[in-house]
A and B are shown apart, each in its own frame.
Chain A
């Protein structure tokens, strides 16, 4: 065993002072090995990229997050609902390993609350909710949107932007969010969800965001998920 090496702090230490060419060679070899080990640790154990799933309320973000998580980990991320703002806290599913072409891409999926500039509790009353529940839900929804914006500025490495292909994509929230994502130079994958609906139009989304590639899918039915996983591996791998 050598008497010279790198300690955990990176400083060279030794048991006895080295003498002569043999000792110097040993020192160099050990230094080389240590640097090689440090470099290997740096690059191979890199934290998985955190990919935020963003979009307006009811675009199918949680349905997609659950589809991805179930396909690759067997677990779900959170409950899905047709009532807007079902997701009111960002939820992270860690270490989702997606296999493509013999390679594995590991990401953390962050399912975020739908982003909006307004929340009116009376809209929840239309979903058979009592006023107290509607008010509580709207308060939680506002906190969730603020949280989603914070994650976007500070804590995500890439974005999957989900849009309901049956809805008009040309809204201010979509324009602003895509602008915010672009200003941070985050890689963004735009998904046109709900293509199982008759009124869905993928082309309308392509026209709204021509600077990005749009991939169609139905997260609910699992349609075109292979292409979605190919894209995830390409954009975030």
Chain B
């Protein structure tokens, strides 16, 4: 996050950026991806209130791959609750030309975040310092 203050001492802790749906609403796909990857490459954990659309997720994977660099950036760990299969509005949304965004999404540097457990209702992750 450009306007956020980063601790000078990286070892002092792990920064968590919780980004509201409102903040992401007006952004284009690439602006969203840059917001996420800039934060993650700083070593921050980024939490999105409203998640990404499938197309945005696809592009996030693609852009992440282009930025991976040996001994510098290994990629991302991303976790989100799966879409409820009983959610009829998803199909309706697609028919209406809208893409549903997923629920709360957590993204962090692959070398700092490890998923311990995940199911439909719980994501448990271990976050370590750089």
The reply on B44 being an interface residue by CB < 8 A is no
Given A117-B110, A152-B58, verify A179-B74 contact (CB < 8 Å).
no
CA distance A142 to B58 in the complex (A): 14
Is B79 within 8 A of A172, CB to CB?
yes
Chain B contacts for A180, CB-based, 8 A: 54-55, 57-58
State how many angstroms separate the Cβ of B69 from the closest Cβ of chain A: 9
- Chain B residues with CB under 8 Å of A116's CB are 75
Q: With A119-B65, A145-B61, A149-B61 known to touch, is A176 a contact of B54 (CB < 8 Å)?
A: yes
Contact partner, A179, options B54, B62, B64, B68, Cβ 8 Å: B54
The reply to whether A138 and B76 contact each other, CB–CB distance below 8 Å, is no
Contact with B along A101-138 (1 / 0, CB 8 A): 00000000000000111111100000000000001001
Q: Which residues of B contact A121 (CB under 8 A)?
A: 70
A-B CB contacts (within 8 Å), total count: 82
B80 touches A172 (CB 8 A): yes
Cβ of A211 within 8 Å of any chain B Cβ, yes or no, is yes
A175 within 8 Å of B (CB atoms): yes
**Closest residue on chain A to residue B61 by CB atoms:** A149
B77 proximal to A (CB < 8 A)? yes
Q: Does A155 contact B (CB under 8 A)?
A: no
Chain B interface residue count, Cβ-Cβ cutoff 8 angstroms: 31
Task: Scan residues 78-120 of chain A and give those whose CB is less than 8 A from a CB of chain B.
Answer: 115-120
**Distance, CA A54 to CA B54, complexed state (A):** 16
Contact flags A148-159 to B (C-beta < 8 A → 1, else 0): 011011000000
A-facing residues in B54-103 (Cβ within 8 Å): 54-55, 57-59, 61-62, 64-66, 68, 70, 74-80, 82-83, 85, 94, 99, 102
Q: Which residues of A contact B (CB under 8 A)?
A: 115-121, 135, 138-139, 142-143, 145-146, 149-150, 152-153, 170, 172, 175-176, 179-180, 182-185, 210-211
The stretch of B9-17, B18-26, B111-119 in contact with A is: B111-119
Q: Which chain B positions have C-beta within 8 A of A117?
A: 61, 64, 75-78, 110
- Asked if B53 lies at the interface with its beta carbon under 8 angstroms from chain A, I say yes
**CA separation between A83 and B54, bound complex, in Å?**
29
Q: What is the bound-complex CA distance between A176 and B79, given in angstroms?
A: 9
Given known A118-B75, A120-B74, contact A182–B54 (CB-CB < 8 A): yes
Q: How far is the CA of A172 from the CA of B68 in the complex (A)?
A: 19
List the A side residues contacting B94 at CB < 8 Å. Answer: 183, 185
